[in-house]
């Protein structure tokens, strides 16, 4: 499945929900399902600066695929990053760098996020591309 | 409290008529900024429609009318605070501005040196912390911080120990903006004076909720913002005892603060103009006068008991929620602050917003206080005259639902 297809699937799932409560519960649930991040990985250089809550993001390369691991002290933030991880983790750095994040607007989540939270969304997306780029350059 | 008509008061706030996320707005972020009643908005509008003119220098009709209105507002504020004279009322842009004024001129005065100290408390807002830190950096003086107990009250034995070292000034908040707790400022000021220290009180959270008598408190300086007390942003007040304001040097230079300018040397204006360089926020001053009229019409005693009963009911309702912890002592005014075990304050705040309930989450500009309690922030609900039992119920229901979603 391409990144675009995975995004499409995610949108379909989100559209099943009638109201904001269900959407939020779904996002919070995604965060809960995220594999636990090693405490040792929660270092300062893995923190995404500029968010109201703490978000750690780690990226590693395995057989040409970028694997993301993340955690946050905020469950909603963790859910949002889980959403990103779902369609980006396991992809090649090239695919991640060219991925179109415009679909976020279609999820309807942004309207339900405080401006600071919406900004965090942008920061997270940017950081994931940044880490993928760093790994690609190291290679 | 039979005379308190909350629905009539509510009707005076046009902003409350709107819905957010499809629900009637429950505004519980008054400690950040209060909403403005029609009487205040009318004064602002009237000023620009009928009076607008630069004050104190004009010879024409409007200039004289605007000047008179501006000075009448100053008198109103002096009366409201029971200041000795309107000359002791300096218009500022807000609490932060007033604190920076005093910390700066104290620095200019040369009264502070390496062996001196300034005392603040762990409860202070960043705006009653950073200006003093900056003053200490410039002068080499030491900044001492009064610690707080687990219940948020001051460690008074430490206070008295600090007084033995004869600090130059003690800067304390009247009501903690983060926890809503009321500080016993009157006896603290008395003890400070016995030790020869000046006292500045940050009244930003107190003026909207309590009746303030600066002479009875015997505060040397008392500062507050208009916008937390039903007036617009950009206007505030510094009350200072005449003897101090006369002895301290001027701060900003410019028009209005001078008597005569000569290249050989400038002579400065008398109080209060000595500290009011530049064209002031005239409309803001008039609107602040109207806001204080509004408060006095309600009656601060009635207002305080109305708000106290809402806070008490909110505290009781919230305490029933599993894992919920309230911060600060029971003696609260204006606000209450809490966290729920295992739930990030920001997440709960986001969900409350979805349910039309506006609260503040985060560190409330009190990072050192949050560090003291080992937290990154709290959820703060803060009340005003227009809040009612329905708002308390909506808050409790929304917190219950939000907590359920996040567990």
Task: Return d(Cα B75, Cα B336) in angstroms, integer.
Answer: 33
Please name the member of A20, A21, A74 whose beta carbon is closest to the beta carbon of B347.
Answer: A74
Look at residues A106, A89, A91, A86 and name the one whose alpha carbon lies nearest to residue A27: A86
Clarify whether residues B238 and B162 are in a common domain.
Answer: yes
Exposure letters B55-90 (e unless 16+ CB within 10 A, then b): bbeeeeeebebbbebbeebbebbbebbebeebbbbb
Among residues B245, B273, B296, the one where a domain terminates is B296
Q: Is residue B1 part of a domain?
A: no
pLDDT computed for residue A51 by the predictor: 65
Clarify whether residues B324 and B245 are in a common domain.
Answer: no
Question: Cβ(A34)–Cβ(A78) under 8 Å?
Answer: yes
Domain boundaries, chain A: 3-138
Model pLDDT for residues B105-161, shown as the tens digit of each residue: 999 999 999 999 999 999 999 999 999 999 999 999 999 999 999 999 999 999 999
Clarify whether residues B156 and B172 are in a common domain.
Answer: yes
pLDDT computed for residue A20 by the predictor: 84
Among residues B296, B324, B344, the one where a domain terminates is B296
A124 catalytic, yes or no? no
pLDDT at residue A111 is higher than 80: no
Full domain range(s) for residue B380:
6-30+299-406
Q: Is residue B36 part of a domain?
A: no
For testing contact with chain A, the best of B23, B341, B344 (most A CBs within 10 A): B344
Count of the separate structural domains present in chain B: 2
Model pLDDT for residues B221-256, shown as the tens digit of each residue: 999 999 999 999 999 999 999 999 999 999 999 998
Q: Is residue B148 part of a domain?
A: yes
Please name the member of A24, A112, A114 whose beta carbon is closest to the beta carbon of B405.
Answer: A24
Clarify whether residues B217 and B357 are in a common domain.
Answer: no
Q: Is residue B35 part of a domain?
A: no
Query: In which band, very low, low, confident or very high, does the pLDDT at B180 lie, cut at 50, 70 and 90?
Result: very high
pLDDT at residue A73 is higher than 70: yes
- In B253-344, which residue ranges form alpha helices assigned H by DSSP? 282-298, 300-319
Query: In which band, very low, low, confident or very high, does the pLDDT at B1 lie, cut at 50, 70 and 90?
Result: very low
Give the ipTM: 0.86
pLDDT at residue B28 is higher than 80: yes
Q: Cα distance from A57 to chain B (closest Cα, Å)?
A: 19
Task: Return d(Cα A93, Cα B361) in angstroms, integer.
Answer: 37
- What residues have CB less than 8 Å from A2, skipping those under 6 apart? A95
Write down the pTM of the prediction.
Answer: 0.94
Please name the member of A20, A21, A52 whose beta carbon is closest to the beta carbon of B346.
Answer: A52
Clarify whether residues B236 and B143 are in a common domain.
Answer: yes
Task: Return d(Cα B303, Cα B286) in angstroms, integer.
Answer: 22
Q: What is the DSSP string of B322-343?
A: TTEEE-S-S-BSSEEEEEETT-
With contacts defined as CB-CB under 8 Å, which chain A residues touch B350? 76, 112-114, 117
Task: Return d(Cα B188, Cα B197) in angstroms, integer.
Answer: 11
User: Are B346 and A76 in contact (CB < 8 Å)?
Assistant: yes
The token pair at B257 is 């603060």
Running DSSP on this structure, what letter comes out for residue B274?
G
pLDDT at residue B2 is higher than 60: no
Model pLDDT for residues A22-72, shown as the tens digit of each residue: 888 998 999 999 988 999 999 999 998 766 788 999 999 999 999 999 999
pLDDT computed for residue B249 by the predictor: 97
Clarify whether residues B229 and B93 are in a common domain.
Answer: yes
Clarify whether residues B58 and B180 are in a common domain.
Answer: yes
User: Are B344 and A21 in contact (CB < 8 Å)?
Assistant: no
Running DSSP on this structure, what letter comes out for residue B17?
G
Look at residues A69, A88, A75 and name the one whose alpha carbon lies nearest to residue A24: A75
Task: Return d(Cα A96, Cα A82) in angstroms, integer.
Answer: 15
Running DSSP on this structure, what letter comes out for residue B16?
G
Average pLDDT for B47-68: 93
Q: Is residue B385 part of a domain?
A: yes
Clarify whether residues B264 and B373 are in a common domain.
Answer: no
- In B209-273, which residue ranges form alpha helices assigned H by DSSP? 214-217, 242-247
Look at residues B381, B20, B363, B350 and name the one whose alpha carbon lies nearest to residue A118: B350
Options 3.30.210.10, 3.40.50.150, 3.40.630.40, 3.90.1010.10; CATH of A3-138: 3.90.1010.10
Clarify whether residues B57 and B156 are in a common domain.
Answer: yes
Look at residues B229, B129, B214 and name the one whose alpha carbon lies nearest to residue B171: B129
């Amino acid at each position: 499945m391409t990144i675009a297809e995975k995004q499409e699937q995610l949108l379909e799932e989100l559209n099943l929900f009638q109201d904001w409560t269900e959407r939020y519960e779904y996002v919070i649930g995604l965060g809960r399902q995220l594999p636990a991040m090693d405490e040792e990985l929660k270092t300062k250089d893995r923190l995404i600066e500029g968010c109201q809550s703490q978000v750690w993001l780690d990226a590693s390369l395995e057989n040409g695929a970028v694997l993301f691991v993340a955690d946050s002290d905020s469950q909603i933030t963790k859910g949002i990053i889980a959403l990103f991880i779902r369609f980006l983790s396991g992809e090649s750095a090239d695919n991640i760098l060219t991925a179109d994040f415009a679909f976020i607007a279609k999820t309807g989540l942004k309207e339900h996020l405080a401006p600071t939270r919406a900004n965090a969304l942008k920061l997270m997306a940017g950081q994931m591309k940044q880490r993928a780029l760093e790994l690609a350059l190291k290679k | 409290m039979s005379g308190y008509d909350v629905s009539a008061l509510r009707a005076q706030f046009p902003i409350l008529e709107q819905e957010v996320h499809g629900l009637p707005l429950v505004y519980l972020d008054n400690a950040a900024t209060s909403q403005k009643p029609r009487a205040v908005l009318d004064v602002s509008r009237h000023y620009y429609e009928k009076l607008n003119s630069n004050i104190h220098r004009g010879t024409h009709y409007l200039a004289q009318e605007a000047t008179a209105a501006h000075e009448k507002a100053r008198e109103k504020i002096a009366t409201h605070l029971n200041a000795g004279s309107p000359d002791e009322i300096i218009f500022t842009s807000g609490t932060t501005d007033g604190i920076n004024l005093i910390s700066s001129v104290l620095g200019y005065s040369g009264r502070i040196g390496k062996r001196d100290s300034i005392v603040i408390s762990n409860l202070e807002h960043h705006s009653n912390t950073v200006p003093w830190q900056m003053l200490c950096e410039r002068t080499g003086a030491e900044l001492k911080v009064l610690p707080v107990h687990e219940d948020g009250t001051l460690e008074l034995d430490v206070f008295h120990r600090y007084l033995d070292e004869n600090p130059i000034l003690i800067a304390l908040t009247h009501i903690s903006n983060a926890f809503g707790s009321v500080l016993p400022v009157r006896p603290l000021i008395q003890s400070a004076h016995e030790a020869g220290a000046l006292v500045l009180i940050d009244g930003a959270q107190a003026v909207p909720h309590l009746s303030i008598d600066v002479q009875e408190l015997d505060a040397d300086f008392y500062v507050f913002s208009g916008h937390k007390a039903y007036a617009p942003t950009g206007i505030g007040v510094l009350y200072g005892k005449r003897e101090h304001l006369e002895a301290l040097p001027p701060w900003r230079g410019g028009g209005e603060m001078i008597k005569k300018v000569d290249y050989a040397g400038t002579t400065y204006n008398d109080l209060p103009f000595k500290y009011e360089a530049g064209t002031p926020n005239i409309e803001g001053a008039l609107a602040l006068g109207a806001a204080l009229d509004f408060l006095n019409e309600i009656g601060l005693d009635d207002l305080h008991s109305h708000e106290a009963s809402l806070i008490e009911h909110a505290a009781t309702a919230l305490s029933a929620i599993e894992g919920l912890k309230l911060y600060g002592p029971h003696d609260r005014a204006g606000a209450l602050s809490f966290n729920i075990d295992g739930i990030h304050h920001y997440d709960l705040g986001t969900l409350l917003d979805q349910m039309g309930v506006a609260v503040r989450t985060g560190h409330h500009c009190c990072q050192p206080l949050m560090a003291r309690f080992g937290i990154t922030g709290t959820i703060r609900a803060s009340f005003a005259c227009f809040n009612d039992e329905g708002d308390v119920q909506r808050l409790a229901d929304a917190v219950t639902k939000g907590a359920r979603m996040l567990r």
